[in-house]
């Protein structure tokens, strides 16, 4: 985890890519959402709306429930057998945990990028074409177009267009992470969930991903978990501060960092926490 002390009341040094928050509809509406792993409660009455075509950052100390929360947004959290939940998460107006809800709707609309780049042990081309193929697209011309568009969308095309048949493991860590973003874009999602997408990357690769996130929000809604508060301040429009499984504060990022309402938020972002 990056030292909280280094963040001393952000607004942050790099203001060149600072976004403007826009009015927009909510893509997710979370109401009184609580979650337990067995008898251990990890989330308590989480309640807020996530706006479309914005970047929403989830911040908070280690173990506060950030990853659990983001994995609830695509129902990945259900892979843990002991999980129990109360409350609701609505995606585009539908409760994703309702028995009637078709999980395929989430899988085709919500993509996820993980902390460590995790390309498949396949060619660069096949990594991106994989999702569309699963969704039944077979024509090579169509797949070629999707691969090119997705790699361009992930700002990777120029670097890999002459080596599409090479194994993805030959790419640098930062390129692999952008490949994973391209793989996500290939299924044409509405939402991209990112769980610490730059924490395994060097500063230059991190800056490229941050710049990319800023571009992607034109077309996608992005939720990003980050330990790096300066990153949250640089790239997000909204920020939710989690502590011990609760949302302590949720507001426009510039307000949360420059004028936090809750003492605990202030303590966390100024490094006095703990």
- In the complex, the residues that contact ligand ATP under the rule CB under 6 A are 37, 42, 60, 62-68, 80
Tokens of 84: 């129990």
Peptide bond into 258 cis (omega under 30): no
The pairing of beta strand 26-37 with beta strand 238-243: unpaired
Query: Considering beta carbons, is residue 123 or 230 the nearer one to ligand ATP?
Result: 230
Strand partners, 33: 46
Distance separating alpha carbons of residues 199 and 203, to the nearest angstrom = 10
**CA dihedral sign of residues 53, 238, 2, 77:** negative
Query: Considering beta carbons, is residue 150 or 231 the nearer one to ligand ATP?
Result: 231
To ligand ATP, the closest distance from the beta carbon of 158 in angstroms equals 33
Distance separating alpha carbons of residues 260 and 171, to the nearest angstrom = 41
Query: Considering beta carbons, is residue 72 or 143 the nearer one to ligand ATP?
Result: 72
Query: Considering beta carbons, is residue 66 or 238 the nearer one to ligand ATP?
Result: 66
Measured CA distances, 88 to 78, 96, 131, 255 (Å): 14, 8, 28, 27
Rg (CA), the chain: 19
Tokens of 104: 């395929």
To ligand ATP, the closest distance from the beta carbon of 29 in angstroms equals 21
To ligand ATP, the closest distance from the beta carbon of 206 in angstroms equals 17
Query: Considering beta carbons, is residue 64 or 171 the nearer one to ligand ATP?
Result: 64
């Amino acid at each position: 985890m990056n030292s909280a002390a280094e963040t001393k009341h952000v607004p942050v040094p790099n203001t060149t890519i600072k976004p403007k928050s826009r009015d927009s509809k909510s893509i997710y509406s979370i109401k009184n959402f609580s979650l337990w792993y067995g008898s251990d409660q990890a989330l308590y009455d989480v309640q807020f709306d996530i706006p479309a075509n914005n970047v929403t950052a989830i911040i908070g100390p280690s173990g506060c429930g950030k990853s659990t929360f983001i994995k609830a947004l695509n129902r990945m959290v259900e892979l843990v057998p002991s999980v129990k939940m109360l409350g609701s998460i609505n995606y585009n107006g539908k409760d994703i945990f309702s028995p009637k809800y078709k999980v395929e709707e989430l899988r085709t609309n919500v993509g996820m990028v993980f902390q460590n780049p995790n390309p498949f042990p396949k060619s660069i081309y096949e990594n991106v074409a994989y999702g569309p193929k699963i969704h039944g697209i077979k024509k090579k011309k169509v797949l070629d177009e999707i691969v090119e568009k997705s790699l361009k969308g992930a700002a990777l095309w120029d670097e890999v267009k002459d080596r599409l048949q090479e194994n993805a493991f030959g790419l640098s860590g930062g390129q692999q992470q952008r490949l994973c973003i391209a793989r996500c874009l290939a299924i044409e999602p509405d939402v991209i969930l990112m769980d610490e997408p730059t924490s395994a990357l060097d500063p230059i690769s991190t800056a490229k991903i941050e710049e990319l996130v800023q571009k992607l929000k034109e077309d996608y809604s992005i939720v990003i978990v980050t330990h790096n508060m300066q990153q949250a301040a640089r790239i997000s429009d909204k920020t939710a501060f989690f502590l011990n499984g609760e949302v302590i504060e949720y507001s426009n990022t510039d307000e949360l960092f420059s004028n936090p309402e809750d003492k605990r938020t202030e303590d966390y972002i100024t490094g006095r926490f703990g």
